[in-house]
Amino acid sequence: MNTLIAVAIAPCGTGDELSAEVAEVVRVIRESGLPNRTTSMFTEIEGDWDEVMQVVRDATFVLASKGIRTEVVLKADIRPGFTDTMTGKLERMEAQIKKQEEAR
């Protein structure tokens, strides 16, 4: 079943600057081959539920396996019958904004 998730995986108690650890997490996600997009707060990953959750597990354990306390925040959108929701949701929203602006 197609799943779109937004996930933030971050170390806890490792100091003020987390970019090196977060880069390790994002590298694992990107190497998965699943569609993904990283922003300043979350990384979105899209694919089959089991594949997406395996990537979340692998990305989490890249830190946890080093003995680093790791925090995971995850939001999932499971929408049967849809694919490419990572871009499709944005396209539908932008179309609505344009439609509303034209109606003014």
User: Residue 91: which domain range?
Assistant: 2-103
Task: State the Cα–Cα distance between residues 67 and 19, nearest whole angstrom.
Answer: 17
Q: Over its length of 104 residues, how does the chain's per-residue pLDDT go in tens digits?
A: 999 999 999 999 877 789 999 999 999 999 999 999 999 999 999 999 999 999 999 999 999 999 999 999 999 999 999 899 999 999 999 999 999 999 99
CB 71 within 8 A of CB 12: yes
CB 25 within 8 A of CB 71: no
What confidence score (pLDDT) does residue 55 get? Answer: 98
What confidence score (pLDDT) does residue 45 get? Answer: 98
The dihedral sign for the CA sequence 22, 23, 28, 34 = positive
* CATH code for position 33: 3.30.70.930
**In the chain, how many domains are there?**
1
pTM for this structure?
Answer: 0.88
